[in-house]
């Protein structure tokens, strides 16, 4: 069954999922989300993901958001990259949680502010703060 990944090229969170799908040899296709023109804020998109975020993976009758949950699901479905022991699975989860809380969130926000938000709208002080954290 070919999974559909709701994504757009600039999304690092979608990239992680696309990479895992590709490396594990899962059949998938991209469903482009027009993030920069506000698609994730539409009622139609919120019906797919109430959190209003990309990525979303649709496989059969399962619709799943959150890149970390998608990575675990791809590992489960493919039987690859999920860890062979309870200790390995805990180690994988530990890194996924850390990435979501500390790394991807702060890199993504910094990247967005520096590259995609018009200069005049960039909040003073926020970019250096995030850079310091990173
Ligand atoms: N924790 C989420 C973060 C997803 C996320 O922030 N996605 C961005 C695009 S990379 C987004 O859709 N943001 C919409 C918004 O913040 O309004 C995940 O890992 O999937």
Q: Round the average pLDDT of the chain to a whole number and report it.
A: 97
Nearest CA to ligand 1 atom 14: 53
Residue 41 CA: which ligand 1 atom is closest?
17
The total number of structural domains that make up the chain: 2
57 lines ligand 1 (CB under 6 A): no
Question: What angle is formed at CA 64 by the lines to CA 42 and CA 108, rounded to 5 degrees?
Answer: 70
Task: Specify the DSSP class assigned to residue 126.
Answer: H
Give yes or no: residues 72 and 10 share one domain. Answer: yes
Domain containing 58 equals 3-78
Tell the burial category of 24 from Cβ atoms under 10 Å away from its Cβ (0-12, 13-18, 19+).
middle
pLDDT one-digit tens code per residue, 45-93:
999 999 999 999 999 999 999 999 999 999 999 999 999 999 999 999 9
* Strand, helix or coil for residue 63: strand
Give yes or no: residues 98 and 127 share one domain. Answer: yes
Give yes or no: residues 16 and 70 share one domain. Answer: yes
- What pLDDT was estimated at residue 1? 84
Task: Tell me the CA–centroid distance for residue 53 and ligand 1, in Å.
Answer: 4
Give yes or no: residues 105 and 43 share one domain. Answer: no
Give yes or no: residues 20 and 73 share one domain. Answer: yes
pLDDT one-digit tens code per residue, 19-51:
999 999 999 999 999 999 999 999 999 999 999
Tell me if the pTM is above 0.75: yes
Give yes or no: residues 8 and 51 share one domain. Answer: yes
CATH at 22: 3.40.30.10
User: Is residue 25 within 8 Å of 3, Cβ to Cβ?
Assistant: no
59 lines ligand 1 (CB under 6 A): no
- The C-alpha torsion from 121 through 39 and 5 to 106, rounded to 10°, is 20
């Amino acid at each position: 069954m070919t999974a559909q990944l709701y994504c757009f090229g600039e999304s690092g969170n979608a990239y992680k999922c696309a990479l895992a799908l590709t490396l594990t040899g899962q059949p998938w296709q991209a469903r482009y989300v027009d993030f920069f023109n506000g698609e994730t804020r539409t009622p139609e998109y919120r019906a797919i993901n109430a959190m209003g975020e990309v990525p979303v993976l649709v496989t059969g009758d399962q619709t799943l958001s959150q890149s970390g949950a998608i990575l675990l699901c791809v590992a489960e479905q493919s039987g690859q990259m999920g860890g062979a022991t309870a200790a390995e699975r805990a180690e994988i989860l530990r890194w996924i949680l850390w990435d979501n809380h500390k790394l991807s969130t702060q890199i993504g926000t910094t990247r967005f502010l520096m590259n995609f938000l018009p200069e005049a709208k960039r909040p003073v002080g926020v970019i250096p703060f995030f850079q310091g954290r990173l």
